[in-house]
Amino acid sequence: MTPRQRRRCALFGLPFCWLSAHCAVSPSPSLVSDVVVPIDNERPLIVAATWHSSIKQVLERRCVRCHLGTQLAPVDLRSLEEVRRLGFYLARLVTDRTMPPMLPSETGHPLDAPWGPTAHEQQLLSDWIANGMPEGSRSAMEETPPTDGSSRPPIPNRPADLELVAPEWTVPPETLEEHRCFVLPGSLAQNTLVRAIRWLPGNASIVHRMNLFEVRGRASQRLETVAGETMSYPCFSGVAVDRAWSDSLESPDFDVQQVGAWTPGAPSRSLPGDAVIPLRAGSRFVLQVHYRKHRRVSTQPDRSGVAMFFESRGTEGYWLPLAVPTFTVMPGARPDTSAARASTSSNLLAASYVHAVYPVMHARGRSLVLRGDDASGRSRPWFELPLWSFNWAREEYFAQAIHGPSSVTLTCVWDNTPAGQPSVDGVQVAPRLLTPGETIDDERCEVLLFVTRTPISTRTR
């Protein structure tokens, strides 16, 4: 602990002592300060951060996209009183990288608009709390809407080309979580290219995640049989029809492809550059919705949907699946043992361009890492999740596309001990044998990679 930290410890008491030791960071003026104001030619004056000068903006950029005091995220971080109540606990969550949830490791390939706070923002928040969480005076800066920092183009500023809304659904009062697939009305009249999706959560207080799937050919004909009169059915993972992907990027052929995914707080953006996803005439769409409640209460019905924006041309890309096809994890297997680990390798991405990753595990997942060869042939981590959370699976885009290596390797680790089991409607289940599948009793080890065969153009129309 530095002399400065010891002086603050004497002033603010034990909580600050714990935080200083925990962070093990010696504050420097460039991190602690909010503004450095030169006074004549003398030593600069460091002005401490306040709620209105910067802390409110940091929380809006990193936290408030979810934490609005709803069923989905009960803590309202727009409120200074609520933030003061949390105090050092909030700083601990941020410096531990516990929140925002499921942050990728910084050792992987740099990401576009990463969710996690920067080192500057972490230190700013910690020092503001240590200084007594001053409110300060209102400023013009706090009225400026925060940006997500993404380099991807915004959603087109025009009416959508196709808007589809799911049938109405009410989550039973006694149910805390539900995963449901909705067959959206109609089918595509012609081949088209989708550029962007605007997600339309109906009852935003309980809609926790959404995935949109294109279902083609014979698989689309089976949908109505699976869905029945309600045009919906329970689906924990996937759409319960065979995907049947071909192992070729030259002429991809499949029955089901994921078109996009949404998680609360995710930037609402187009695909990178001029990238588009081809959709086939006659296809149907399935919207998978993950509902999540914190209490057994009645809620308003939900009618979620999507609005899609099409383009006449662009660089075609696909969400290509890479999965461990077979594995077995015995009951009781600990995550620090080889019995709870599985891997697969592929050379399918050679000479392609990888722009994004969407990881897929189920509730007993512990960690996931995707490694690829660099230009010299050495394997290095592309994308790593040290602490998996099924509830927060989301698309992560790379700051720059990765030119396909000769080989990639995916490794997953599970926790199949009693402590690692999920709860179903508030009741923790017992360990069981884990094998690949799409139900809550199964597991998966998979990533979807958004891939193009040629470089994308950064000049969009």
Q: Which of 96-110, 211-225, 242-256 has the lowest mean pLDDT?
A: 242-256
Q: Which amino acid is at 407?
A: S
CATH, residue 236: 2.60.120
Alpha-carbon span 159 to 155, nearest angstrom: 10
Using DSSP bridges, classify how beta strands 315-323 and 275-279 pair: parallel, antiparallel or unpaired. parallel
Alpha-carbon span 124 to 113, nearest angstrom: 19
Alpha-carbon span 119 to 217, nearest angstrom: 49
Alpha-carbon span 54 to 124, nearest angstrom: 8
Q: Name the strand (E) or helix (H) holding 60.
A: helix 56-62
Both 232 and 120 in one domain: the answer is no
CATH, residue 407: 2.60.120.230
* Any domain includes 286: yes
Both 223 and 178 in one domain: the answer is yes
- Residue 191 and residue 281 in contact, taking contact as beta carbons nearer than 8 Å: yes
Q: How many CB atoms lie within 10 A of CB 168?
A: 13
Q: How many CB atoms lie within 10 A of CB 384?
A: 18
* Local structure of residue 15 (DSSP, 8 states): H
* Any domain includes 327: yes
Q: What is the DSSP string of 246-301?
A: -S-SSS---SEEEEEEE-TT---BPPSTTEEEEE-TT-EEEEEEEEE-SSS-----
The rounded percent of the chain whose pLDDT value lies above 90 is: 42
Both 390 and 405 in one domain: the answer is yes
Q: Which of 246, 280, 313 is at the close of a domain?
A: 313
* Any domain includes 155: no
For residue 291, how many C-alpha atoms fall within 13 Å in the half-sphere facing its CB?
Answer: 31
Phi-psi domain of 36 (left: phi exceeds 0; alpha: psi -120 through 50; beta: other): beta
Both 324 and 185 in one domain: the answer is no
* Any domain includes 245: yes
Alpha helix (H) residue ranges in 68-156: 80-86, 88-95, 119-130
Q: How many residues does the chain have?
A: 461
Both 197 and 294 in one domain: the answer is yes
Both 293 and 335 in one domain: the answer is no
Band (pLDDT 50/70/90 cuts) for residue 55 is confident
Both 271 and 339 in one domain: the answer is no
Q: Which amino acid is at 19?
A: L
* Local structure of residue 204 (DSSP, 8 states): T
* Any domain includes 339: yes
Query: What value, to the nearest 5°, has the Cα angle with vertex 236 and ends 231 and 238?
Result: 75
Nearest to 192 by CA among 309, 287, 320: 309
Alpha-carbon span 343 to 369, nearest angstrom: 10
- Cis peptide leading into 278, omega within 30 of 0? no
* Any domain includes 461: no
The pLDDT mean for the chain works out to 82
Q: Note the pLDDT of residue 2.
A: 45
Q: Which of 143, 172, 190 is at the close of a domain?
A: 143
Domain of 433 in residue numbering reads as 319-452
Alpha-carbon span 276 to 216, nearest angstrom: 18
Instruction: Please list, residue by residue across 237-254, b when 16 or more beta carbons sit within 10 angstroms of its beta carbon and e when fewer do.
Output: bbbbbebebeeebeebeb
248 versus 303: the higher-pLDDT residue is: 303
Q: Which residues, at least 6 apart from 402, have a Cβ–Cβ distance to it below 8 Å?
A: 109, 353, 354, 372, 382
Question: pLDDT (tens digit, 9 = 90+) per residue, 229-278?
Answer: 889 999 887 776 666 555 555 556 678 899 999 988 777 899 999 999 99
Both 379 and 263 in one domain: the answer is no
Both 139 and 184 in one domain: the answer is no
Q: Which of 143, 175, 196 is at the close of a domain?
A: 143
Q: How many CB atoms lie within 10 A of CB 387?
A: 14
Nearest to 372 by CA among 387, 353, 386: 353
Number of domains the chain contains: 3
For the cut 90, the answer to whether the pLDDT of residue 51 exceeds it is no
Question: pLDDT (tens digit, 9 = 90+) per residue, 146-160?
Answer: 666 788 999 999 999
Q: How many CB atoms lie within 10 A of CB 186?
A: 9
Mean pLDDT of 340-348: 92
For the chain, helix, strand, coil in percent to 5 are: 20, 30, 50
For the cut 80, the answer to whether the pLDDT of residue 341 exceeds it is yes
* Any domain includes 153: no
Radius of gyration of the chain (CA): 24
In the numeric block, which tokens belong to residue 145?
């809407």
Question: pLDDT (tens digit, 9 = 90+) per residue, 115-137?
Answer: 878 888 888 888 888 888 998 88
Both 124 and 259 in one domain: the answer is no
For the cut 70, the answer to whether the pLDDT of residue 408 exceeds it is yes
Both 250 and 218 in one domain: the answer is yes
Q: Which amino acid is at 31?
A: L
Both 47 and 102 in one domain: the answer is yes
405 versus 198: the higher-pLDDT residue is: 198
* Any domain includes 96: yes
